[in-house]
A and B are shown apart, each in its own frame.
Chain A
């Protein structure tokens, strides 16, 4: 089955700086990589995803890059703001039905 490793476990950044979270996966057949954001007291919510036929996808201040050869993908947040403080999870599918294996999560703290 799929194994997803996520680093770092915590990330503290100054407001306005960039944040990068990296994930590696084990199954070379995986073709879909979502990122979820979890705010305090809430459930995770999808913020961006990427399919294996593209190398990068952007949505305003967030972007995801994928390196299929190295089997890793990364979340990039530019111009961080206090509302970006949250736990971020990467994930990869474990089967053909789309069940997901999640990384351990990254606690991002944006300090003013």
Chain B
């Protein structure tokens, strides 16, 4: 059981380049999330998908787009990368539904992105 798988693990981009971060989960979870982690700022929510076919902005959505491709996959796209987007990106998923308000988040191992 792989859980949440993120690719790539590392990426270096030049300012203005674009890329897509991939995420897939095999736990049949309804909800998926993208966070970024920066020193001293904890985990900040970029976008989330409460269920297949829906996406919503989180705390820091500017400069990003997402696609919930199907129930398993949720991708994050940077259309024109900026140095401020240098960060570690985590995808997460969780079961949601009636009685599952407090179900735990399951995180992938992250993508470390550097924008020069």
Tally of B interface residues using CB under 8 Å = 26
B109 contacts which chain A residues (CB < 8 A)? 41-43
Given contacts A46-B104, A49-B102, A98-B103, contact A103 B42 (CB under 8 A): yes
Asked if B50 lies at the interface with its beta carbon under 8 angstroms from chain A, I say yes
A42 to chain B, nearest CB (A): 5
B58 contacts which chain A residues (CB < 8 A)? 99
A9–B42 Cα distance when bound, in Å, is: 10
- Chain A-chain B contacts (Cβ-Cβ < 8 Å), number: 58
Instruction: For chain A, residues 26 to 43, give those with C-beta under 8 angstroms from any C-beta of chain B.
Output: 32, 34, 36, 41-43
**Among B41, B43, B48, B104, contact of A34 (Cβ-Cβ < 8 Å):** B104
A51 contacts which chain B residues (CB < 8 A)? 102
A72–B93 Cα distance when bound, in Å, is: 27
Instruction: For chain B, residues 46 to 67, give those with C-beta under 8 angstroms from any C-beta of chain A.
Output: 48, 50, 58
A44–B43 Cα distance when bound, in Å, is: 10
Asked if B74 lies at the interface with its beta carbon under 8 angstroms from chain A, I say no
A93–B94 Cα distance when bound, in Å, is: 14
Asked if A6 lies at the interface with its beta carbon under 8 angstroms from chain B, I say yes
**Among B48, B101, B108, contact of A32 (Cβ-Cβ < 8 Å):** B101
A34 contacts which chain B residues (CB < 8 A)? 102, 104
Asked if A67 lies at the interface with its beta carbon under 8 angstroms from chain B, I say no
Residue on A nearest B41 in the bound complex, by CB: A104
A102 contacts which chain B residues (CB < 8 A)? 42-44
A25–B91 Cα distance when bound, in Å, is: 24
**Is the pair A46, B43 in contact by a Cβ cutoff of 8 Å?**
no
A93 to chain B, nearest CB (A): 8
Asked if A13 lies at the interface with its beta carbon under 8 angstroms from chain B, I say no
**Among B31, B42, B103, B108, contact of A105 (Cβ-Cβ < 8 Å):** B42
A3 to chain B, nearest CB (A): 11
Shortest Cβ-Cβ A-B pairs, 5 listed: A43-B107, A46-B104, A102-B42, A102-B43, A104-B42
Q: List 15 A-B contacts (CB under 8 A).
A: A6-B42, A34-B104, A41-B109, A42-B109, A43-B107, A46-B104, A46-B105, A89-B42, A93-B101, A97-B96, A97-B101, A99-B45, A99-B48, A102-B44, A104-B40
